Amino acid sequence: MSGEEKVVLHGMWASPYAKRVEIALKLKGIPYEYVEEDLLNGKSEALLKHNPVHQKVPVLVHNGKPVIESCIILEYIDETWKSSGHALFPQEDTYRRARVRFWADFIQRQLLEKFIVTITAVGEAREEAIKELRKNMELLEEGLRVNFFPEGIPQYHFDDQKNVRFLDITMCAFFGLHKAQSEFVRTTEIIDLQRTPLVFSWVESLKEVPVVKEVLPPHDEVVNLLRGFRQNAVGSSPQV
Amino acid sequence: MADVKLLGTWPSPFSYRVILALKLKGIDYEYIEQDLSNKSPLLLQSNPVYKKIPVLIHGGNPISESMTILQYIDESWPETHPLLPADPYGRAVARFWIKFAEEKLSSASMIFRTSGEEQGKAVRETVEVMEILEEHAFGSLKEKGFFGGEKVNMVDLAYGVMGRWFDAIEECSGVKVIDPLKFPLFCGWAERFNEAPVIRDNLPGRKELVDFYKRRREMMLAAAAAASN
């Protein structure tokens, strides 16, 4: 770490929110110290001190000052380390910035949080969540095409990691694991090549970006984790 | 100068966040009141994903979600009345409290939509949220003024709905949630907000708000009673 800069990231190996921050820090080449938090058995004193309101990861502590919430941390990183790596947000085009924010919020509330419901809910609530998740993936397909990739995604586009930016990070930190996640939604793939080809190719190519590959947890560990959550939700029933 | 239109409904607090931001910045705009029971083609075309208000249309470009609209306004008209601090850390803290408002204030609207046990639950949840705010958010203001220092900023606008709207909701729901003895910092801030320049001239009237929510509550409770018969 150079000079006065001290960057500490409090995260957890399976937290997609923490993964977003790791991807951003690595893309921008910002050195940092990583602290793995054991969220079930004992959060560190530092975490509780820095995030008293939510007591969650990720927390980025920059020179002793805490920044909380993954999307807010990404904006902070982009604004603070302007000359490191590439810009994560559109710079001049305020309308594009607004669209990026809108779709990041959509990914969070209408996709990620709905997926969580498919794991933690049972019966009709779960069926409803599965239906909504599918419908919302189709809305993302349309939104992605209209706003960001009207000509589709060029081959080798993400080989240049300057093309990996805020919205890409927001999506792939969680849905990069869609194959593992799909094992728990029973009737369908959550990202279906047939129904949402643009979203599928977007996520599949982002998964291959070296920094993303390095940061995302292995497929089997994610499957085990999700199985654990699912079992807690349904009790002792083996049905998934 | 590209034209600015705002699609909203009266007296939606989400609409008002945008109205107050536009007024603070001195931006001319055309307000178009929407009928949500019969949504206009303009609304459906401008917000096809959620079909909700508010929507800001600037030079033909639609932006939706009230706090996204406020960030857009701040970035597109940066010269007057900045709505966020200039330094990245200050902005990150502001954004944290804005997100908290987006996530946690909905329990308040449940107070006027429900009665009995459900209402009791909504009241308890709202009080918990208020306790966090009083300690961690309004606690940092002391006597100073606003989240924006001497001037109102985006965080003040995010919570501004809690002043007059909460007051109206409490009156027509018959429950008192904001006890000035328990939440002195919040109450002091809310009074200052309601009296702030520009804000004070652009809030809906208290009587009109109370009448509106009284009628709404009667309709909602009647509908709920009919549904359970």
Sheet holding A65-68, edge to edge: A33-36, A7-11, A59-62, A65-68
Q: Which residues of chain A lie closer than 8 angstroms to B92, CB-CB?
A: 67-68, 72-73, 75-76
Asked if the C-beta of A139 comes within 8 angstroms of chain B's C-beta atoms, the answer is yes
Q: Which of A76, A84, A139, A64 is nearest to A107 (CA)?
A: A139
Q: What digits encode the pLDDT tens for the residues B167-177?
A: 898 898 888 88
Q: Which of B84, B80, B89 is nearest to B67 (CA)?
A: B84
Comparing A88 with A239, the larger pLDDT belongs to A88
Distance from CA of A85 to the nearest CA of B (A): 18
| Residue B2: pLDDT over 70 | no
Comparing B160 with A40, the larger pLDDT belongs to B160
CA B105 remoteness from chain centre: 9
Asked if the C-beta of B129 comes within 8 angstroms of chain A's C-beta atoms, the answer is no
Express as a percent the part of chain B with pLDDT over 70.
Answer: 97
Q: Are B31 and B6 in contact (CB under 8 A)?
A: yes
Q: What is the mean pLDDT of residues B143-172?
A: 90
Nearest residue in chain A measured CA to CA from B103: A109
Provide φ and ψ at A189, rounded to 5°. Answer: -75, 140
Q: What is the mean pLDDT of residues A40-53?
A: 88
Residue A110, pLDDT score: 96
3-state secondary structure of A36: strand
Rounded Cα–Cα distance for residues A174 and B49 (Å)? 22
| Residue A67: pLDDT over 90 | yes
Asked if the C-beta of A156 comes within 8 angstroms of chain B's C-beta atoms, the answer is no
Q: Which residues 47-66 of A are in CB contact (within 8 Å) with B? A: 52-53, 62, 65
- Distance set, CA A231 to CA A50, A71, A183, A217 (Å): 32, 30, 14, 21
A9 DSSP assignment: E
Q: A–B: how many Cβ contacts below 8 A? A: 57
Q: Which residues of chain B lie closer than 8 angstroms to A56, CB-CB?
A: none
What lies within 8 Å, CB to CB, of B1 at 6+ separation is none
B92/A76 touch (CB, cutoff 8 Å), yes or no:
yes
3-state secondary structure of A18: helix
Count Cα neighbours of A226 within 13 Å in the Cβ-side half-sphere.
23
H helix count then E strand count, chain A = 11, 4
Which one of B77, B89, B103, B155 would you mutate to disrupt binding with A, by most A Cβ within 10 Å of its Cβ?
B89
Residue A236, pLDDT score: 52
A52/B76 touch (CB, cutoff 8 Å), yes or no:
no
Provide φ and ψ at B5, rounded to 5°. Answer: -120, 145
Residue A100, pLDDT score: 97
Q: Which residues 187-216 of A are in CB contact (within 8 Å) with B? A: none
Q: Which residues of chain A lie closer than 8 angstroms to B96, CB-CB?
A: 68-69, 72
Distance from CA of A53 to the nearest CA of B (A): 7
Rounded Cα–Cα distance for residues A135 and B175 (Å)? 39
In sequence order, which ranges of B38-153 are alpha helices (DSSP H)? 41-46, 66-76, 88-104, 106-113, 116-132
Q: What digits encode the pLDDT tens for the residues B38-97?
A: 999 999 999 999 999 999 999 999 999 999 999 999 999 999 999 999 999 999 999 999
B92/A72 touch (CB, cutoff 8 Å), yes or no:
yes
| Residue A1: pLDDT over 50 | no
Q: Does the predicted model carry a pTM greater than 0.90?
A: yes
